[in-house]
Amino acid sequence: MDNATIGGLGMGIGLLLLAIAIAPGSSFAAFIDYPSAAVVIGGSIAASAIAFPIKSIFLIPKVVKKVFFPNPPQIQPVIKQLVEFAEIARRDGILALEKKTEEIEYPFILLGIQMAVDGTDSELMENILRSEMGAVVGRHKTGKLLMDTLGRYAPAFGMIGTLMGLIIMLGNMDDPEAIGPGMAVALITTLYGAMFSNLFCLPFADKLAFYSKQEYEVREVIVRGILSIQEGDNPRVLEQKLSTMLPPDQRTDLDAEAAA
């Protein structure tokens, strides 16, 4: 579970609730309006259904789940495993890696190792791996675009709901006592639209972009590592080559592990 996402949502919602609680004369009941929520959330999803194929809309729950339960691979363990494979290939030959395929958990590494063991041409192997990377990036872009689109439409539907509320309110001007509550209900929809966009949809889109970038970097390390293993590079040279993808402090940690 992504603790930063949970913590950020908790902090954002908590601050809003605190502001309502300490504001003079305010009450939580005044900020609850189900028709307004339906206009904002339902309208945003409906507009997104117009903008995207219907099958993409059904991906929204899966995309949101990925924000809370990401499973991004870490670069350091990947580099360590690739260096281990390079040592085996240099000592026993690349065919010896076939016995290690059952230990590989990351499918992208498995794909590369299997092609290397099968003697696939390096240029063809790189093209296949990079095509796979491109497909993954495309799927990630779709998920991010869905969240961006919801975040863009939500404030607009908040304004639409507010205008609907004002029209209803102005149609009942003969009752002066209803004007104040009617104005409050009308403005709630704008509030819901801004909250749904800026506390959920747009931050979710940015988090998805962050994890997509992280996964792309790991896959780039894997492609370079697999090609180096196939070319028979020295494991130490391979480690130094792949370590350039790490921040300096993490390179130091990797060197310390290797020395131990």
Q: Which residues contact 62 (CB under 8 A, 6 or more apart)?
A: 143
**What is the C-alpha to C-alpha distance for residues 69 and 84, in angstroms, rounded to an integer?**
29
User: According to the model, what pLDDT value does residue 250 have?
Assistant: 65
Asked if 135 and 104 touch (Cβ cutoff 8 Å), the reply is no
Structure tokens at 41: 């959330």
Structure tokens at 231: 């070319």
Q: Spell out the domain ranges in the chain.
A: 1-32, 33-260
User: According to the model, what pLDDT value does residue 166 have?
Assistant: 85
**Mean pLDDT in order along the chain per 10 residues (260 residues):** 90 92 83 90 94 90 91 86 91 88 88 90 92 91 94 95 85 71 81 95 95 91 92 87 76 55
Helices of type H across the chain: 3-22, 34-37, 43-51, 54-57, 60-68, 75-92, 107-117, 122-170, 179-195, 202-231, 235-243, 248-259
**What is the C-alpha to C-alpha distance for residues 68 and 247, in angstroms, rounded to an integer?**
25
Sign of the torsion formed by the C-alpha atoms of 23, 25, 27 and 32: negative
User: According to the model, what pLDDT value does residue 178 have?
Assistant: 65
